[in-house]
Every structure is written in C-alpha cells, then in structure tokens.
Amino acid sequence: MNSHDKSASLLRLISLNVWGGQILNPLLEFIHYHRNVDFFSFQEIYSRTQKGIVSKPGESICTDLFERIADILPNHIALFRIFCNSSCRSVEI
C-alpha cells in the first residue's frame, strides 16, 4: 500500500436499524448495492433461529431477515446476537 493512498486504509461501516424488515425489498436492494462495505451492524433484525416472535397488529416483520441478509453478503462473517433480559445466546452462521 502506498503511504499516500489514504482510501486503502479506510474502514467502511454501515449501522442501520432495519425495522424488522418491514420495508423489505428496498432494504435488501440497499444492502446489495453496498455489499462491498467492510462492516455492517443491524438493529431490530430477526432470525429463524428465534422462537416466539410475535408482531404487533399491522406490523409485517421478516422472521428470516438475518438469513436473507447473510445470503446477500457471502463474503462477510455473519454473527447474530439476541438481545433480551434472560438467557441470551449468540448464533454464528
């Protein structure tokens, strides 16, 4: 790497609240468009490994959003962490 080439050392990061995938197609298109970003951090994301996901009336959540995003980003390491008040676990896919 050339010491004058600053862009080669920049970390590209996207942190995004995906709102449970309620606006699914534009979300997946956005992620696919930015698939060369180095690091993604998603909030309000669901995985088919979770049990007992219940949506509110009028809410349409995507219960396999984590897996769909992992499929779009095959060159990334996908880690899923359930945030809860008891017995949390990490799932690596």
Domain map of the chain by residue range?
Answer: 11-92
Q: Which pLDDT belongs to residue 90?
A: 46
Q: What is the pTM for the complete model shown?
A: 0.73
Helices (H), ranges, the chain: 24-33, 65-72
User: Which residues touch 30 (CB under 8 Å, ≥6 apart)?
Assistant: none
Q: What is the mean pLDDT of each run of 10 residues along the chain (93 residues)?
A: 63 95 96 96 87 69 92 94 58 46
- Give the SS3 label for residue 13: strand
Q: Which pLDDT belongs to residue 52?
A: 63
Query: How many angstroms separate the CA atoms of 25 and 89, rounded?
Result: 28
